[in-house]
């Protein structure tokens, strides 16, 4: 079912409201590298050889204009379907090829942006975080804020980055979860689920799988936090914000309701 602009806006506000409430209970922790960077921060680093700017907007939007030096990456190259409508993060070897293609080395600072409310950028952040890349940031406000502040904009496509030579990265298994992992932890006091869908989806009135409703579980700030939505983008967006707030134990469930809601063997709540 297609998502309207209005409902997408409500979803974003809902997810943001949840994580901002959590922020009152958990102090933000200082990171070795900023997870969220401002346009001013990035403007000082445009053109640097050790900075890779990645535009994950739609290809048509990239052609119409982008930040100077930004390379385009099709979101489809960063995900794979585990089954119909159910996405997963790349394997270690797929991740190595992706990072090699982008010319990313362990020393490269990667800055991600889009014009989709950072939903695409957050997914790529999750992918790189799972692959263990320590220097990855999301541009605060994305393309819209960059342009609104007078940031440079071009239609010139930069040369393809020189391929890097990387060993296969170590995938952080503690950053993603499957349905079995989530099911085994339902009801545990040290695990909570963050729902990133709309109220209608949560309550089972907007049904996008064989069943409507949500995964059972209560939310408190002292737990391992598992994020999920319908497929993967809102999952990653909420994952990124929780990481930004300093939560040390955040786990993404990319299969989300597209998997859970279509499996009658898994419990649901309404």
Q: Please report, in tens digits, the pLDDT of each residue of the chain (270 residues total).
A: 344 444 444 444 444 444 444 443 333 333 457 999 999 999 999 999 999 999 999 999 999 999 999 999 998 888 766 666 677 888 888 988 999 999 999 999 999 999 999 999 999 999 999 999 999 999 999 999 999 999 999 999 999 888 877 777 777 778 999 999 999 999 888 888 888 888 888 888 999 999 998 888 645 556 799 999 988 889 999 999 999 988 888 999 999 999 999 999 999 988
User: pLDDT at position 18, please?
Assistant: 44
Q: What does DSSP say about strands 136-139 and 36-37: parallel, antiparallel, or unpaired?
A: parallel
Known active-site residue 156: no
pTM of the model: 0.80
Comparing CA positions, the residue from 164, 182, 199 lying closest to residue 17 is 199
Q: Give the pairing type, strands 86-88 and 80-83.
A: antiparallel
Helix (H), strand (E) at residue 252: strand 250-252
Residue 224: alpha-carbon gap to chain centroid: 18
Structure-token match 């393309």, residue found: 143
Catalytic residue, from 11, 119, 225, 229: name it: 229
Domain boundaries, the chain: 36-148, 173-260
Backbone angles phi, psi at 94, to 5 degrees: -60, -40
Give the model's pLDDT for residue 165: 75
Q: Are strands 109-113 and 86-88 parallel, antiparallel or unpaired?
A: unpaired
Give CA angle at 206 (184, 219), nearest 5°.
40
What is d(CA 261, CA 212) in angstroms, rounded to the nearest whole number? 7
pLDDT score at 16:
44
pLDDT of residue 163: 80
* pLDDT for position 21: 42
As a whole number of angstroms, the distance between CA 58 and CA 152 comes to 19
* Strands (DSSP E) found in 76-202: 80-83, 86-88, 109-113, 136-139, 191-195
Which of these, 260, 254, 224, lies nearest to 242 by C-alpha position?
224
173-260 folds as: Oxidized Rhodanese; domain 1 (3.40.250)
Tokens of 97: 């090829």
Contacts of residue 176, defined as CB under 8 A and 6 or more positions apart, other chains included, come to 88, 89, 126, 130, 251, 252, 253, 254
Task: State the angle between helix axes of 5-23 and 233-244 in degrees (0 to 180), rounded to the nearest 10.
Answer: 30
d(CA 259, CA 252): 14
Same fold, 36-148 and 173-260: yes
Residue 113 CB contacts under 8 Å (≥ 6 apart), including other chains: 53, 54, 55, 56, 57, 67, 70, 121, 138, 139, 142, 143, 146
**Could you name the CATH architecture of 36-148?**
3-Layer(aba) Sandwich (3.40)
How confident is the model at residue 15, as a pLDDT?
44
């Amino acid at each position: 079912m297609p998502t309207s602009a209005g409902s997408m806006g409500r979803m974003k506000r809902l997810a943001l409201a949840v994580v901002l409430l959590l922020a009152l209970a958990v102090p933000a922790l200082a990171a070795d590298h900023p997870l969220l960077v401002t346009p001013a921060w990035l403007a000082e680093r445009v053109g640097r050889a050790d900075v890779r700017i990645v535009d994950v907007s739609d290809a048509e939007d990239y052609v119409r204009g982008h930040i100077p030096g930004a390379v385009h990456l099709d979101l489809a190259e960063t995900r794979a379907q585990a089954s119909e409508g159910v996405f997963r993060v790349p394997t270690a070897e797929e991740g190595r090829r992706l990072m090699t293609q982008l010319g990313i080395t362990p020393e490269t600072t990667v800055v991600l942006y889009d014009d989709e409310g950072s939903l695409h950028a957050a997914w790529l952040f999750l992918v790189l975080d799972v692959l263990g890349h320590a220097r990855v940031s999301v541009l605060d406000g994305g393309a819209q804020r960059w342009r609104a502040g007078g940031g440079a904009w071009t239609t010139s496509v930069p040369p393809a980055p020189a391929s890097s030579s990387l060993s296969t990265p170590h995938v952080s298994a503690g950053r993603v979860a499957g349905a079995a992992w989530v099911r085994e932890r339902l009801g545990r006091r040290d695990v909570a689920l963050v729902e990133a869908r709309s109220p209608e989806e949560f309550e089972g009135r907007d049904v996008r799988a064989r069943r409507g409703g949500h995964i059972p579980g209560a939310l408190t700030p002292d737990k391992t936090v598992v994020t999920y939505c319908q497929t993967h983008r809102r999952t990653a967006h909420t994952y990124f914000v929780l990481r930004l707030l300093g939560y040390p134990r955040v786990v993404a469930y990319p299969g989300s309701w597209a998997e859970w809601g279509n499996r009658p063997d898994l419990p649901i709540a309404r």
